[in-house]
Structure 1
Amino acid sequence: MPISPNQGSTGGGFPATLTGTGLTGATMVHFGNKTATITATSPTSVSVVAPSGAGVVDTTVTTPGGTSSPVPFFYVPPPVVVDVSPSSGPVAGGGTVTVTGRGLATADSVLFGDTAVTPTVVSDSELTAVSPAHATDEVSLVVTARGGTATASETFAFVPAPTVTGFSPLTGLPAGGTLVDITGTALATTTGVTFDGTPATFAVLSDTRVAAVAPSHATGAVTITVTTTGGSDAAPGVFLYIL
């Protein structure tokens, strides 16, 4: 006699259905030593609201004709969200977000504010989700699994794409080491600065300024690109490596 679903939250309160034969007049359904609330019966099924519980329990149906053979039911603890990385993403959507915690193996939904997406479960302690499109805002992030729901302790921010408006100085030595002041907008979530694709050490000074140390490079003109959790933008003009 199968039960569907065959796992659920330790807190109980969810619907479940047992199917089989000879179930007419079912009077009692047990989950371990606890009694479920019967909501509907037929000759081939019994629908119930499951009680709270823990671990693996035997589920049985009692009718005037006797009690069924036990069917295992698995109680799942509620999920726990420990970290969300990155904690922001582009307003256009499409950012990959990694959620770590516990009890994530049965996760089937990640809610960004009011928008739900289907996650990819990596393990019981990790899942990934692709952030949806959303107006600039900070929203709650909620993971739903068979064991219940968990809300991240910090909000998830939808941020606009960056705009790089300029940088100074305009030149540096091929050996690298020149401190370059980059200006623009929406730079607070900067995750990388490159000089023609070569990563540079950087520090975020504000939402409008990032300082980067030019890496070593052959002489010539290169493009400076800033990448944030909201997207990427190339600075106007070129940075010259000169002797």
Structure 2
Amino acid sequence: MNRSVPPPTITAVLPLAAATPAVTSVSPTSGSTAGGTQVTVTGTGFTGATGVRFGATQASFTVNSDTQITATAPAGSGTVQVTVTTPAGTSNQFVTFAYVTAPVPVLSSVSPASGPASGGTVVTLSGSGFSGATAVRFGGVSAAFTVVSGSQITATAPAGSGTVQVTVTTPGGTSNGVSFTYVSVPVPVLSSVSPSSGPASGGTVVTLSGSGFSGATAVRFGGVSAAFTVVSGSQITAT
């Protein structure tokens, strides 16, 4: 007796649709009406992004990851919505960026004006319009910094070489450049300490002799930092 055999069942597995991108925050949340502010856009679903808009205006941008984009705010005015577009659609969260009128910062001096190529020099920047600063750069390299006031910033020079221009960026724009020179600093050589002993309670004033002491940042007895004064490139007094 013939029995009919049912045809095999074929189950199609369809690819999951990509999720519509979502914008959760932008930083900073404001910038100059002239444009140019570097903005970090955070959210989800950014892979394959084809557009970032500030209001209706397209911005240049770089996709760092599925959750982060860096964009350069175009010129604009007022408060606008920031959106990200991918093949899956356009974000619809109401995350905003405010255009503000702010003075362009002016940098009048940096002190000291030079430091070792290895970086680490703490530099005081003086000028005006520093409030809300978003970046300090030595040449094209960003530096860690603290805004002390509208006229002063302290920054830590990154590693570098040659003479570079230091600039400050705020919502009002980017300042003029002031020169900072990277120099080769010799490794200090310590040849003697006098006296060579003292009480365990401390307090002995010791003369350190050698070379390469200019710009000394620390004197240590074992692992303990000591108070000191650089007398010259070849002599330091320390307690």
Q: TM-score, normalised by structure 2?
A: 0.47
User: Higher strand fraction: Structure 1 or Structure 2?
Assistant: 1
Q: TM-score, normalised by structure 1?
A: 0.46
